[in-house]
Amino acid sequence: MIKERLSTEYKTKLFTDIYSGNKPDRVPEKVGVNACAALELAGYDLRLAQYGITKVLDATEKINAKYDTYTLIGTWPGTPWLHKFTGSRTNVMGEDGFIQHPNVHGMEADEYDLLLADPLKFIWETVIPRLFTEFDAPPMKAALAMAKTIKANDYINGKIAQGNMSLIKKYDKSAFPTFVGISRAPFDYLADYLRSFTGALVDIRRKPNEVLEAVNLITPLMIKAGCPRHVETPSRLTRIFFALHMPTFMSEKFFAKFWWPSFKETVWAIYDKGFGINIFCEENWMHLLDYLNELPPGCELQFEYGDPKTIREKVGDKHLISGLFPVSLMKSGTKEEVCDKAKEYLDILAVDGKYIFNFDKSILTAGQINWDLFQPLIDTVHEYGKN
């Protein structure tokens, strides 16, 4: 059978249609494959290649030349050059070349008064020098390190973005950007960047009022972050991405009190500015699904675990559903099992044009899956996903 060649325009329209509330011609697919997997597949040493641009783009080209997906895969590796310029203590390259996140935190339990007085001032004057050694320096040396950081971020990421655009055209991939900006749930920001996972969970019992006030003050910062200025005309096609971290580690009582209200406020404010919303619901959200219906319509909800039928029934009318396909099956399963599982998800979720095929989690390493199963899976989604 001769395989159909779909154009960039056709693939792009699948996404613009679904995010505009129209039923796409077939199920869009945007599977997560990390650049580290692409670098390994191309035979590059992660410990070295991530410091450059050429090998990163070459690895991205090789994986996209080989596999026919709707979106560009194998993009955006770690940014060790950024972590060196900042002296990051939160992102450190491990011996295997993957970026590790040591258990460090930027704020102590007795520093809420400083945070509450002026969150940004506290972040700049206390947290940043504490977590980034290059900024814990005399003023002009810290200023020089910050200048390098900002310039590197713009220049290197700009070069990679340019390279990716060329590959999108060359390999007929969708030109629709997955997202244009990132924000965080205010409580997740407090936990992940300031107090640490365990610290935040202790604080909600010992310092509940301080935590609530902190989350309240972080909320406008997350709203501002979620309305990036480089997007001149926000629309539902300009999507802001949230990865949700803490909810499944909290009791529902604490979730409802400390986590949910500020997140809901953040999402609605960004939506009201015109943006679309993409949310990755990490872990298993089955007991929290009803809350998601309090969000504005048309959010893309990517799930990691859960029952697709229940998810479809509870949130599928209001939102777009994505994720869930168990990437681990591509390691342990046969070709038939993998393709049948994809059809099973499509049968349940692709009933009314509000489903985007994706994995439960991104492929991070080359050894994580049997690559002989990758294209058969993608071909199944492309063919079986036709309306």
Touching another protein, residues 250-289 (CB under 8 A): 269
Q: Does 176 bind another protein (CB under 8 A)?
A: no
Q: Does 193 bind another protein (CB under 8 A)?
A: yes
Q: CB of 162 within 8 A of CB of 169? A: no
Nearest to 66 by CA among 378, 323, 330, 326: 378
Question: What is the CA angle 379-385-387, rounded to 5?
Answer: 140
Q: Does 103 bind another protein (CB under 8 A)?
A: no
With a CB cutoff of 8 Å and minimum separation 6, the contacts of 82 are 88, 149, 152, 153, 156
Interacting stretch for another protein, rule CB under 8 A, among 23-31, 188-196, 278-286, 308-316? 188-196
Q: What are phi and psi of 382, to 5 degrees?
A: -65, -45
Q: Does 228 bind another protein (CB under 8 A)?
A: yes
DSSP class of 355 = E
Question: How far is 270 from 234, CA to CA, in rounded Å?
Answer: 10
- Select 8 or 153, whichever has its Cβ closest to another protein: 153
Applying CB under 8 A, which of residues 121, 151, 287, 309 lies at the interface with another protein?
Answer: 121
Q: Does 120 bind another protein (CB under 8 A)?
A: yes
Applying CB under 8 A, which of residues 91, 126, 248, 362 lies at the interface with another protein?
Answer: 91
Q: How far is CA 328 from CA 67, 325, 367, in A?
A: 19, 9, 11
Q: Does 229 bind another protein (CB under 8 A)?
A: yes
Q: What is the DSSP string of 157-215?
A: HHHHHHHHHHHHHHTT---S-S-SEE---HHHHIIIIII-HHHHHHHHHH-HHHHHHHH
- Select 91 or 365, whichever has its Cβ closest to another protein: 91
Applying CB under 8 A, which of residues 28, 32, 97, 119 lies at the interface with another protein?
Answer: 119
Interacting stretch for another protein, rule CB under 8 A, among 30-38, 183-191, 331-339, 374-382? 183-191
Q: Residue 60 Cβ, how far from another protein at the closest point, in Å?
A: 20
Q: Show the tokens assigned to 163.
A: 């390279």
Q: Does 86 bind another protein (CB under 8 A)?
A: yes
- Select 74 or 119, whichever has its Cβ closest to another protein: 119
Question: How far is 38 from 194, CA to CA, in rounded Å?
Answer: 33
Question: How far is 300 from 306, CA to CA, in rounded Å?
Answer: 16
Q: Does 362 bind another protein (CB under 8 A)?
A: no
Touching another protein, residues 195-224 (CB under 8 A): 216, 219-224
Q: Show the tokens assigned to 123.
A: 């972040």
- Select 145 or 301, whichever has its Cβ closest to another protein: 145
Q: Residue 113 Cβ, how far from another protein at the closest point, in Å?
A: 16
Q: Which residues form the interface with another protein (CB under 8 A)?
A: 79, 82, 86, 88, 90-91, 118-121, 123-124, 128, 132, 149-150, 153, 181-184, 189, 192-193, 216, 219-225, 228-230, 269
